[in-house]
Every structure is written in structure tokens, then in C-alpha cells.
Structure 1
Amino acid sequence: MTEHPTLDRSRFLQGQYAPVTEEITAFDLPVTGSLPPELDGRYLRNGPNPLGLEDPGHWFLGAGMVHRVRLRDGKAEWYRNRWVRSRQVAESLGERWPAGPVHADMDFAANTHVIAHAGRTLATVEAGPLPYELTPELETVGPCDFAGTLPGGYAAHTKLDRRTGDLHAVAYFWGWDHVQHVVVGSDGTVSSTTDVPVTDGPMMHDFALTSRYVVLFDLPVTFSMEAASAGSSLPYTWNPSHQARVGLLPRTGASREVCWFEVDPCWVFHTLNAYDDGDRVVVDTCRYEGTYDMAVLAEQGPLTLERWTIDLAAGKVTQQRLDDHPQEFPRVDERVVSLPHRYGYSALVGEVSRDTVRPNGDFGDDAFANALLKHDLSTGAVEVHRFERDAAAGEAVFAPSSPGAAEDDGYVMAFVHDPDRGAADLVVLAAQDFTGEPVAAVHLPARVPLGFHGSWIADQ
């Protein structure tokens, strides 16, 4: 167990944001209910967990900490949480930095996502720093440039095409006049990169993938030299002069010119999924209407689940609202990424209970509400699984009951803050009985601060 001094109090260092100060290893975790024996693997989630006395100044900038629960044979064998050891984190903990490549002097304890590809477990972050490789026990191996084949920076979000084994990402960096589509093959090395010219240095947190296209979101949150000169820790601001548009980059072919389509001003952090439909591309996404203030993360919106249909023949984008619930962190069964999907899962935000609602899209002291959502996009039905009033449910991740199971035949997992214990549970819901009692709840020995994204990594 490694301890660290208590942090100063600030907005993102209080309440359910508050970082934990210890690294814990705990075995034979107590479970309420019965863990399905077919869940054989690891559930991991990443998020900011500042250490030291200095306020990072923004929720997105705290040093990454990865949490992991190992499930096997109907048991929760162990839980670990570990900081990602960038040079600064390692030195703060009195340890030797594992060393490795660094892009543009940007060494950061990756805090946004944690994925597995080609035998590596990678913690990722946006805006150019390299991902960090971790061992199965969450010890830091070091920064990863995919065996020297990555020419620049990397990205927070990736999409795996399970048919080809290729891992796709769209990287951006303030010093570039482009964004870069990066493909990492099943052998763990970069097989191709494509530069896409853009102006103003837009933030591209996420993208979408279809069988034929990479879907790019060039929206009016852009790099601001003025904000950087003023000392902003996250110098990306709303730029009303930057035309909002969505682009289709062909995945193959001799000419890979992007076809751009203008849309109304808005902001998108995360996409649910996308797929080809004849001469159209369908993209489901969580959309913030109007302006978005990256420095505030509050009172934005309205925030809704939308379907964007990009019609190449007509040269336009049609937007359809699918659900009015304020929601974020949308996920699908990873096996259908880039293919037509029926189901999606997301976390309710803003709304606290049936009787108390915060402003739509308000990332306040309790950014996540006490509920998860399941969408049947074929029928339009929305199911809501509510936990107790003061609970907070994070991103929902789907795990199939078997490799060949049908979509939605499996389980939905999330970290849920238990206010009675002051600690987190890994809650397992049956996807086909979404509003029913949880199949199981693994009781962790510590609180898991509000964080970002995770993965279910099954043992094959």
C-alpha cells in the first residue's frame, strides 16, 4: 500500500471527484448475489486521480489511476488500483521512472481510457501524449509508441474492427495543422497513418468507425493561444467562427479525400456507434446543443442522444433525437463496432432522482446520477435502472455471455458508488433483465472517484 499526502480542497478534489490517496491490493472480495461463471476476465477503468498538493486546475488533467477487478469461476479474486507512472508521478512517489519515448515533450499519466490490444494493456489520453503500457497487475511498463512505429502522438479513444483486427484512432495535437488517423494492426505495430488537414486546432475527443469510413467531428472547440498565454491548464475554447462539420474519411482506396458536411454548432464528446446504410452513414452520438464551455463543464446542453444520418448523395446531415434523457459515456457491445447495432447503454447525468433534476449536462459535484440507461434503437424503448438516491453510476460496459452470443445476450457492468459504505461496488446487471435486481455486486474496499472509461477484457 502506497500513501500520499491529502490534497488541497477544490471543486474537482471534493465529493465524489475527490482522489483516493492509497494504492490498494485486496483479495477474495465479498459479493452480494452470484457472479456468472462465464465472466472470466478483467474489468478495468481509468480516471483522473491527482496526487501531491497542487490542484491540476481541471478534472481532465489529474494523473491517471487505473482500477481493476479480476473475475474467475464465479469469484471476485482481487482488486487493485494503481497510478500510471509518468515521470512526474514516479518522482512524486519516490520511484524510478520506467522511461521510454515521449511525444513533443508531453509526458502525461494517461487518465482517460484503458484498453487491450495485441497483448498490451494501454492507458490512453488525448491531445498528443503517448499511451502507457501496464502489466496485468497494473504495474507501469512505460510509454508506448508501438515498437517505434508511431510517428507522432496518440489519442484517448480507439475503435477495434474485430473483422480485421485493426485498432483505429484519430490523434490531434495543438502544434499540428492536421489530425491523424492511425491504424495499429493485430501485430501491435502501426500499419498506416493518414493526415487530414484542419484549421484552428480542433479538439477531437472521439470519432466513429464504419466498414467504409472513419467519421470525424470537426467542431467549434479549438486550441486558443490566448487562453494558453493566460495560463489556462486546458486551452481549448468555444470558437464561434469555426464552422461545425462532420467528415467521412474513406478507410481504403487510392483517393482518401475527406468529404465534409456542415452541421449546426454543437459539441460531441462521445459516439455510441456508426455503420453504413447504402449511400448513407448512420452515427449515434451524445450531442450538446449550442455552445460548449470546456472550462466550466456545467449548465451545457441540452444534452441528448441523437442519430445523425449522413447522406452522401444529397450532401447533407439529418439529425434525429433518439432520447431526451441527459446522458453521457454511451457504449455498445464491442463486437458490433462499425456494424449495425440495436442496443446501447449509457450513464445518466444531471438528473439526481425522479424529483430532483440539475441543469441538463451539468457536471457538478455529482456528475453521474444514480441510474444507467439501456436503449433498444429498433423499437425506441428506453429502460432505466436506478440505484439508491445518493448512489452514482459510472460508464456501463457490456460483456457478452460467450464469444458467439447474440447482441444484448450478456451483462452490463459499472462501478457504482455506495453511499452507505462510502466505497464502490462493481455492479453486474443482466442485459436482458436490465431493470431487475443486479445479478451481483462486488464490494470493493475503497471508493473509486468519478472517472472516465473502461473495458471488459475477457480471458480467451
Structure 2
Amino acid sequence: MASTPFKGAFTPVAEEITAFDLEVTGRIPAELNGRYLRNGPNPLSLDDPSASHLFIGEGMVHGVRLRDGHAEWYRNRWVRNAHVSKRLGEQPRPGPVHGDMDFAANTHVIGLAGRTFATMEAGALPYELDYELDTIGPCDFDGGLPGGFAAHTHADPATGELHAMAYFFGWDHHQHIVIDAKGTVTQVKGIPIADAPMLHDFALTERYVVIYDLPVTFSMARAEKGAQLPYAWNDAHGARLGLMSRETGDLRWIEMEPCWVFHTLNAYDDGDQVVVDVVRYPEQFVYARLDMGGAPTLDRWRIDPGAGKIGQTRLDDRAQEFPRMDERRTGRPYRYGYTAATRDLYDVVYPAGTELEDLPDEAFDNTLIKHDLERGTQQMRQFGRGAYVGEPVFVPSGEAEDDGYVLSYVNNPARGAADLVILSAQDFTGEPVATVHLPARVPLGFHGSWIAD
């Protein structure tokens, strides 16, 4: 293969590992009983087509099980779709496939109704995993899904309902899907849409499902050239936000400035208006290449449905991604958010041809950011040179919004392996509460969850 994005911090690991009784520095909070899981692309071989794009590589889930102050185990497991099963000399797992989109789900891993699911977008179904991360098989929730599912979901903390927005290049619509707390699909609503746009995430408030219709659409020209991800910037498509009433299903579209959004931090109703906080990419970035890179910023959209207008405010202009918050506040007014800034994701900030030895030292200081959105301030938690850091996941401990812990995998270059770092959200820049020393490297990947026992 001529080139691959799977290098540096994204270099895949070559084997599955199981390790018990992990070494810990500090003290793991006794209330953390459960699993910290994270998904990401990890191609079986860099010679495979799946190694040509970060969004396509076979998913590998990395997990640490904590209980009663101990780190009981670490596991990493490939998600076994038919291709991975065959390559590993195993029988394919039985289950449904939508539109021939049998991907080894690599984007997120979530818990629902006591079950664990690896998710992906663009028409693929989720794969169910058992407690120890072995693959059970693809899942359509007992036939409840008429098509594929979604990479990102948002759970209403009041009802326990899980909302998703599914898309597929062969549809003339998106699907709004609701799954109840028992894991039963209770609603699938088609939303007519033109040009088969990509839809990585959406937003949820108490009143609305907020839908992003942005100018990255299915490209037949790219598909005919064999592109693994046949989507491209489409000036003719335009950009708009949809507000769909959760009560009536009525939908109103509001035109907006073209941009791209992978991820939502949170959204909420504010009187008659709607506030949506996102990591926003400029048009020229997406036009250049649909990939993780560029200089995304944390922005706020204030939507006035009555006037049909959207105002935009810059919350933080640092390059950052993977926004997370206290999910007990999903769809509600909130104060704190967490993001990651990692040089390996944003090396496009530096001029083409820049050699590693010419980069400033701070380029290697990988950073987590805590945002106080009420005060408009940020705290920066920096890790050392070469310590690339993943998505920060908040785990509540007490009732206060920032009374809890922030968990993330962090590369430990001195050991050539990763640590699970547990930070106090209220002492964000202080020493970690605990550091779990893993026996292997964890490449940079995508999204994860704390799934309590």
C-alpha cells in the first residue's frame, strides 16, 4: 500500500491480550465498579484496503474492568465481522446484515439494557459483545431496526430512551430511532433528505431532536473510483439544521452557514430558543479531505425558531475534538464539558513537509481541556512528550455536575504501553487519582464509555 494513516499514534497493535491484576499507581475510587471501554480502527494488516482510511479499519475494543478499588483485567478484542472471523480462522458469527454493510464496527462502544454494543455509521448494524468483549454477532434488536444504526447515540436521562439518527447512501431519508431502556425499538421515523448526506452525530434536547444536514454527501464519482469512504464536500447541497419536535414529530429546517460537524458536546432548550454546542470544522478543511485533522473549534449555535435564524459564538478556538460531558445533563442546561487536543490528530496545523525534529516541544504536549461554560474559562491538563491522549469520559460520583472522574487512555512512552488515567474532575490539573498501567499500547482511536456494573 502506498500510504496509510495508521502510523505514529495510530499504529495498530498486532495481537489480542488478556491480563489480570493490573499494577496501579494511586488509589482507584471504590465506587468505580464497571468497565471502561473504548473502540477504534485497528486494521488486521496495513496491506488491506481497510488500512487506507481511519474510518474504515477493523474495530478493536480495549477494556479495563475495575472493581472494589482493583483493576481486575485488561482486554483488547477485534470485533468479529465475517471478514475478521475468516482472517482469524474462526466461524462467522450469525446475525443480520444491512445493505451488505458488514463492518467490524470501529467507532463507539456503548452499554444498553445490560448488553454491550460496538457501533458504526453509514448503514451498518451494531455488533453485540459479551462482558469480556468477545463478539456475539450483529444485532438488529430482534428485527426492530429496518435498516442500519448509528455511530452516536444520546440517552434521555429522564426516560432512559436511547435516540439515534441512522443514514445510508441507498436511502432518500434518514431514520430517527428510539430504543427504550429495556433494549426494544419503540420508534423508527423516516426523515426525507436529499443527496444522501453523511450524518455522524446529532443533538437532543427535552423538546427537540436536532438534525445536522451539512454539505458532505455521497459521491458516485468517488464510489466508482473505489473510494472506501465515498463521501465528498458538495457546494450545491447547502447547510441547514432541523428541529424535530419530540412530541409531535413536526420538523422545521433553518438555513445556516456551510461547515462540518462530527461531534456534539450537548444541547438544551433556553426559553423559546435552542442552544447547541459542537466541535465545528470550517468549509475549507472538509473540502480538502474528509478526515480527522484541520483546526476544529468549540462553537455554540443559538437557534431562534421564531425568527428562523442561527447565531454562532466561538467558545474556544484551540484545535480540539471528542467532546464529552456529564451525561446526566444530556439535553439539559449544563456547565462543564471536556475535550481532547492531540497533535497526532491535528498535524495539518503545521506546514507540509515539517520534520518531527523541527516541531516545537509543545506540539508533543497532548492535552485534555475542561471547559467551564458558565464562566467561559478552560483548564488544561497536559501530559508529557509523546503521551498521546484519547477521548475524556466523565464518570459521576456525587450529585454535583463536576463531582466525578475523567477517564482516558494515555500513552506512556517510557513503558511503550498505555495507562488508564483517572483524574478528579474537580482537581483537573492535579495529580491523577489513579493510574492503571496496561500491558500493551492502545493506539489512538475513537469513542468509548464507562459502563457501570
- Cα deviation for residue 13 of structure 1 reads 2.7
What is the RMSD computed on CA atoms of the aligned residues? 2.1
- Cα deviation for residue 148 of structure 1 reads 1.2
Alignment partner of 1:452 is 2:446:
yes
Give the aligned partner of residue 27 of structure 2. Answer: 34
Aligned to 2:106, which of 102, 108, 111?
Answer: 111
Alignment partner of 1:85 is 2:80:
yes
1:242-285 residue CA offsets vs partner (Å, 9 max, x unmatched): 111111111122xx232111111111000000011111010000
Give the aligned partner of residue 14 of structure 1. Answer: 7
Give the aligned partner of residue 117 of structure 2. Answer: 122
Say which structure is richer in helix. 2
Change (3 A) 1:360 1:276: farther
Alignment partner of 1:359 is 2:349:
yes
Partners in 2 of 1:225 and 1:432 — Cα distance? 49
Give the aligned partner of residue 300 of structure 2. Answer: 307
Runs of 4+ aligned structure 1 residues displaced above 4 Å come to: 364-369
Identity score, percent: 61
Alignment partner of 1:414 is 2:408:
yes
Change (3 A) 1:89 1:295: farther
Give the alignment's TM-score, normalised by structure 1: 0.92
Give the aligned partner of residue 385 of structure 1. Answer: 381
Alignment partner of 1:102 is 2:92:
no
Partners in 2 of 1:190 and 1:387 — Cα distance? 42
Partners in 2 of 1:165 and 1:440 — Cα distance? 31
Aligned to 1:54, which of 45, 48, 56?
Answer: 48
Alignment partner of 1:164 is 2:159:
yes
1:219-254 residue CA offsets vs partner (Å, 9 max, x unmatched): 01110001100111110001011111111111122x
Change (3 A) 1:298 1:113: closer
Give the aligned partner of residue 186 of structure 1. Answer: 181
Secondary structure class of the residue paired with 2:55: helix
Partners in 1 of 2:326 and 2:193 — Cα distance? 32
Check conservation: 1:369, 1:393, Cα contact below 8 A. no
Give the aligned partner of residue 4 of structure 1. Answer: none
Change (3 A) 1:351 1:224: closer
Change (3 A) 1:38 1:360: farther
- Cα deviation for residue 310 of structure 1 reads 0.4
Check conservation: 1:332, 1:344, Cα contact below 8 A. yes
Give the aligned partner of residue 368 of structure 2. Answer: 372
Partners in 2 of 1:372 and 1:217 — Cα distance? 26
Partners in 1 of 2:364 and 2:82 — Cα distance? 31
- Cα deviation for residue 334 of structure 1 reads 1.1
Secondary structure class of the residue paired with 2:221: helix
For 1:377, the aligned partner's letter is: L
Secondary structure class of the residue paired with 2:148: coil
Give the aligned partner of residue 320 of structure 1. Answer: 313
1:380-435 residue CA offsets vs partner (Å, 9 max, x unmatched): 11000000022111100000114xx2111000000011111111100011000001
Give the aligned partner of residue 239 of structure 2. Answer: 244
1:290-312 residue CA offsets vs partner (Å, 9 max, x unmatched): 23047453663x42101100011
Give the aligned partner of residue 345 of structure 1. Answer: 338
Partners in 2 of 1:209 and 1:281 — Cα distance? 10
Aligned to 1:25, which of 15, 18, 24?
Answer: 18
Higher mean C-alpha displacement, 108-117 vs 11-20: 11-20
Alignment partner of 1:197 is 2:215:
no
For 2:370, the aligned partner's letter is: K
Check conservation: 2:364, 2:386, Cα contact below 8 A. no
Partners in 2 of 1:186 and 1:206 — Cα distance? 21
Check conservation: 1:16, 1:449, Cα contact below 8 A. yes
Partners in 1 of 2:144 and 2:13 — Cα distance? 36
Check conservation: 1:58, 1:295, Cα contact below 8 A. no
Partners in 2 of 1:272 and 1:93 — Cα distance? 37
Partners in 2 of 1:201 and 1:345 — Cα distance? 31
The gaps in structure 2 that reach 5 residues or longer are: none
Higher mean C-alpha displacement, 320-329 vs 53-62: 53-62
